[in-house]
Structures are given as C-alpha cells and as structure tokens.
Structure 1
Amino acid sequence: MPFDRAALAQAVAAHGTVARVVLVQVKGSAPRPAGTSMLVWAGGASGTIGGGQLELQSMRDAAAMLAGGPRSKLTRAALGPAMNQCCGGAVTVVTERFDAATVEALPDTYPDIYLRAVDPAAPPLADSFRAKIDRASGGTTPLAITLHGGWLAEPLWQPSRQVVIHGAGHVGSALARILAPLPQFRVILADPRPLYLDDLPAGVSGVDAPWGAALHSAEDDAAHFIMTPAHDDDLDLCHRLLQRDFAFGGLIGSDTKWARFRSRLAALGHAPEQIARITCPIGARQFGKHPQAIALGVATQLLQFEPARTNKKVRLTQKERCA
C-alpha cells in the first residue's frame, strides 16, 4: 500500500518513536508484494510484511533501531538461503525510525509522492530519477514504489473510499469490524441508538443521529449499505439515496422485500433505471444467513470492485453491482 502519513502520525502520537518497515523490491516469489509495510514500536506492532522469518528478523532490526540504531536501514535478503522460507524469492527491505519531530518535518515537495534518501551512503539524487518523479506526480496512474541509487519514492496514500453502514445491528456491526482493518476503506457506522455504537473497532467512526444524517453528509463516491431494523426506515433511506450521487448502494433483504421496495420506490417517482442503482439482496447466498456470514459476503462483494492495491477510485456500473 502507499505511504500512509496519517496512520504513521497516529502511531507516533500513541506510542512515541515508531519504526516503519517496508518491502521496496520483490524478486520472484515472496509472501507480500512491494509496497507492503508494517509499523513497530516498543511492545507492539501493526500490519504485516508476510510473517515468517522475514518478518521476525525485520522486527528485530526495527527493535534495534528503536533502541538507538541508525534512522534508516536498507537490507537485502534471499528468502530461501537467508530466511529458510520456501518462497525462494529475494526482497529489499527499508526500515526507518520516526518520532513526532520527523513526522512533522516530512517533506511536501510532491503532493502525492514521498521522496527521500534511505541509504546513508546515497549519492545526490540523479536528474533522471527526479525527472521520472516529476512526470509521475499528478498523473492518472499511481507511481509504484521505486528504489533508485539509495533514494526511495513512494506514492502517498490518498483519501480512501468512504463506506457508510446504516444500521449497527448484528450484520452492520459485523461488516464494520470486517472492513475496519482494510486501508482502502473509511468506515462510518450510523445508528440513532447510542448503545449500538459502543466499543467501535479502531478505524470506525460512529454517527449517533437520526436515520439519514450520515447519508446526507456522505461523499459523492461513498458506498452505502442500508440495514436498519425497520423496513420503513430502509425504504426511506433508499428513497433519499436515489436522490444523490453514490458509488455503491446495497440493501439487506430478500428477493421478496426488494420486489416490494421496487414497487414502492416507483410510486415515489423513481424510474426503473434509477431504482436499479441499488443492489438487493447483497452478500453471497452460498455463505448462509448467519450475520457474520452475510457480512463476509457483503465485504467480498465490495472488495471485488474496489482496487485493493492502489488509491484509485472507481464508480461501479450497474452491471458490475449485480454480477
């Protein structure tokens, strides 16, 4: 994933000094692709670069850096000979130490790329590499993480897809917990019942307000999942949703419920092609009807359309939504 400055700043604020470990080059078979990163601090960590001996050794290196080692380190390793991992590929790992001062001083030369020297012996930045970064910045295709002559260029994480879950019942809360760790989503769980918003997982924002409040404040390319405890409220939210822009609209329910809703939405003045912007039922029937199973199906449905390894936003076509 791209460099997430906000997540790094949050970790530093919570834990003080933090080491960031990132795979910058991958050749052959490896547990995770280039750009995968994790954060390590005294007594804890978040994320994973694939587990196994590679991750264990990287965490040891990060711990040594936190104890006073160099601010950055570049390591190359063959996973088979050096790590006894069956993947057999080779990786280049960059480990960097950050504290509040270094996070505050992160350069902003480019709005979408973080460029810095990661090798203490790196020569001055080559003109050809700077020209490549200049061309990539602001382009339509995100830059892939690139190591060149001891200098590292990483795309900066851009605002991710907003996902608004209307209803914090069994399925809604389960869906929020499944989506919360995924960096490509910013999850909002909306419900006018305050008790249902207790103990939210990290990364999930709660909206304790009447039904529809979170819908009206949502971004135009947000994904919406409607699953309130009352069909009348579901219908009202569908009616309101069809009056605004959105990327994905999903309604929990059966084929029978959706047939009735289509008729009632038509009576409210919505054309068939507009009503078809909402997907119902949602999830994967073969997973079953347990709340967790439904939530897994819905999350799978969303992940099929959301690019997981880039920060590119897409608008889903009706054909894709109903596939």
Structure 2
Amino acid sequence: MRPLLWLTVGCFCALPGAGCASNSATAATSAHAIADATVTKPPMGFAKTIVLWPNGAPGALGGSEGDIPKMYVYPAPGAGVHSAVIVMPGGGYVHLAIEKEGGEEARWLNAHGVTAFVLEYRLGPRYHFPSPMLDGARAMRYVRSHAAELGVAKDRIGLWGFSAGGHLAGYLAAVNDNGATGAEDPIDRVSDRPDFAIVSYGRFTMDATIPRKTDMEGLLGNHPTKAMLDSISVVKLVTKNTSPCFIFSTTADQQVSPLNATAFYDALKEAGVPVELHIFERGQHGAGMAQGMKGMTELAIYPTLLANWMEMHGWMSQE
C-alpha cells in the first residue's frame, strides 16, 4: 500500500524519491493564514449536521464556520441497513457547489434507498493540501465507525465527487489505510478506504501532455513545484488496492480535459481495479446530475447508468 501523503499538516511529502516541499508548504501556510475562511451556505433538505472534529480539526486556523469540516446527513427512508455515499462537491478547492453537486445527489440517493452525507471540506486560500484530504478521510472513518447508529453497512460506504471533489474522491480511493491500532480517538482506528468511488469530471493527472488551465492552486497554492503536482496526481497513486470506480466525463468539457478520465481508467485497468467509464459527447463542465439541460437528452441517462452500476455491485437495491 502507498504511504499516506498527508500525515503531517504543513509537510508536502510526495511519493518516495520525489522529495519533500515542506518549505513551500510552510510559506503557503503563512501566506494564506490571514485569509478569511470560506463559508458555504448549507444544501437543502438535510436532517442534521455532523462536525467531524468537535474539538477542532487538525491544522485548523480558527473556529469560524469555514474552519469546521462537517457533513450534512440525508438518512435513507425505510427500515434496515442501507448503503451510504459521502458526496464531495466541486468548486476548485476554493468554494463548494454544495447544492448542485451535493444536495441534489443526496436526495437522489435517498430516493434509491441509499443514505447520503454531503461533505463540507476546508478550502483555499486559507487551507491547502492536505487539509481537504484529512477532512475526506475523517468523513469515511466517521461513517464507518458510527455505521450501526447511522443505519448503514460498514462495508458499503462510497464516495461521489465532482470536479475538485472528484479529484478528492479519486485521491482517497487510491490513498488510504486500515486505521491506527490503539489510536486515542476510536474513529482513527477504522479504515478510511471507500468501498467504491464515483468521480464526475475530475482532474486525475497533472501530466504536462494533457492540457490544463490551472495547477490546482486552490489546493496547492501559487507556483506549486513538480513534486507537489506529482503528490496529488491520482494516476500516479493507483494500486491494486484502489477502490472500484465509476468515471463520468464529457468530450465537450473545456475546463477539465476528458483525457483525465481516460488516464484514470487506464491506470485502474492496469492495476486490475474494477472500473466503468462513460464519456458523453456533449455537456459542459459542472453538469451535476445532468437533468433538464436543453439539448442534452443523451447526457440525462447518466444517473441511470450509475444506478445500474451500483445495483450490479450490491451498493444499491434493485427496484
């Protein structure tokens, strides 16, 4: 298994041999510590909120709303134990499209018998790598460690990310561990490996041969080094232990090249990881659930394909 790349807040430890850009991370921390935390308006229709670290998140720079990573809970209706999905909205790691790429999906999941959690993770420019990764991993550990009280199956917990959230979900699918035996916090003793991941129009490679408009400055800060870029390039992190993935993109996406989707698919296939890929001809970046979009009737089939994939693997009940 790959070593965790973000165990120490403030140290940009890349893959073995890639070096460590700790000085750059320290400078970035100093530069963005004065920025106000980004506050996100909650999505609609949630039942309750879960604060991931009641006593303060690791590396927290304050105690305002944007400093407190949390989940909005959407319990599935009906009795019994349900599958669960943690939804990770996009927004370039500087804001969150938390309703279009969070609340809408959570309610769709509920309608299909799946309990959902919408993650509000920390954002730049106040927070950089590894804070969002720590928040996502904590969300996985929290749901798994509280599975019984939440009414979910601890072996049927997945992630669904969009754009930057898709990158985050892909990263967590590749970089995870079995928990720390004997950790003081019992939540830290359980695995943060998602049982599956759904990734929608995310960036998964920082390969210079694939066109990109940014260097993910919202996550890495300004002027990231090659080592920093490599450390968050998901295709370089894939192993045979990476979670099964459903990948969705569009050829028309001018913001995140669909070549990211094919590169991620190739890496997963080479590692022997179950994977399904759908790239539609039409559809701009940020399609969300892709419903009700003028001239996009083909794209609208995407949630049905996802439901079929989840049903096939037993993560969603057949209706």
TM exceeds 0.5? no
Report the TM-score when normalising by structure 2. Answer: 0.31
Q: Which has the higher strand share?
A: 1
* Structure possessing the higher relative contact order (Cα contacts under 8 Å, 6 or more residues apart): 2
